[in-house]
């Protein structure tokens, strides 16, 4: 039960920060999303996001900051094993499962949904 509370706290805090940015700034939602991915990469590269992920579990891995962290982590591991080429291949190897799931479920949603033009 404590793990659920921690995940809710971390994930909820990330969402609250995003909502405050939407409400109080003129930043578009897409820019905030890109900022979250970049923030996850930066914090992952600095070794800070790992601690947040250990504490928050799914509350830290599911949001876009977790995706950015996966990219950075994959690049660092691949650079250690493959050298310079790992800069280009590591991120996609680490995030391939998440990207594939997103495309697959978006396709299923498109089959089920009945979109209407405005």
Tens of pLDDT along 84-94? 888 888 888 88
- ∠ at Cα 67 (27, 94), nearest 5°? 150
Say yes or no to pLDDT of 46 above 70. Answer: yes
Residue 112 has a CB neighbour count (10 Å cut-off) of 7
Q: What is the pTM of this model?
A: 0.76
């Amino acid at each position: 039960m404590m793990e659920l509370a921690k995940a809710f706290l971390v994930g909820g805090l990330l969402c609250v920060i995003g909502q405050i940015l939407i409400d109080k700034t003129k930043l578009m939602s897409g820019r905030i999303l890109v900022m979250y991915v970049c923030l996850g990469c930066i914090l992952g590269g600095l070794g800070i996001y790992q601690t947040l992920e250990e504490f928050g579990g799914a509350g830290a891995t599911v949001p876009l900051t977790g995706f950015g962290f996966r990219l950075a982590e994959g690049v660092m591991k691949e650079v250690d094993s493959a050298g310079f080429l790992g800069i280009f291949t590591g991120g996609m190897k680490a995030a391939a499962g998440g990207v594939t799931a997103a495309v697959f479920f978006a396709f299923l949603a498109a089959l089920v949904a009945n979109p209407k033009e405005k």
